Amino acid sequence: MLLTELNNSTEHIFERQPKITLTRIILLSILSFWIFGFLLPTITSIDNIISNMLLSRVYSNICHQENVKCISIGNASMLVCSRCAGIYFGAFSTGLLSLLIIVPSISRRVLILSAMPLAIDLFFTFTGVYTYSQRIAFATGLVFGGVVYLFLLNELENLFSKKTFSVE
């Protein structure tokens, strides 16, 4: 009986594996496309005002884009602030790792705890305890982004792994 249960669970894991891998690749591809968009002004030498304005408009719906808070590379700035860039790069790094290793499932409690450093940084910055630091904002975003990615990945994989049963 134990051998049968073990055999069934092994079959279930191998049956789900292609769906899990495909989900991870699709999610990582979407994230890569999004990151490429906000990095575009910093990685190209083309100064196309129309495309920059269009991209700036798209990312302004997500980020405040204050110039002093955006990471600059050369003469160009990213289209998101340091904190948002940290969130996206944290998610991207975790996404790459999720293709190579088994990732843990993340509870809502861990998700909330990962937001605490970010919230504390925001609070201290707005209250004037210290001035805004791109490094701190990026680092707190990096942690939060990685955990959010794991949480979202777990939720998507659970959603896609549910089987629907029909009543006959």
Q: What is the pLDDT of residue 1?
A: 45
**Any residues with CB less than 8 A from the CB of 160 and at least 6 apart, and which?**
19, 23
The alpha carbon of 128 is separated from its chain's Cα centroid by a whole number of angstroms, namely: 29
In terms of Cα–Cα distance, which of 19, 60, 16 is closest to 38? 60
Only one residue has tokens 């050369």, namely 74
Q: What is the pLDDT of residue 120?
A: 96
Q: Which two tokens stand for residue 15?
A: 């049956």
The alpha carbon of 48 is separated from its chain's Cα centroid by a whole number of angstroms, namely: 28
Q: What is the pLDDT of residue 41?
A: 84
Q: What is the pLDDT of residue 46?
A: 63
Q: Where along the chain do its domains lie?
A: 2-161
Chunked into runs of 10 residues, the chain (168 residues) has average pLDDT values of 43 57 89 92 72 81 88 86 95 93 87 96 94 95 96 86 54
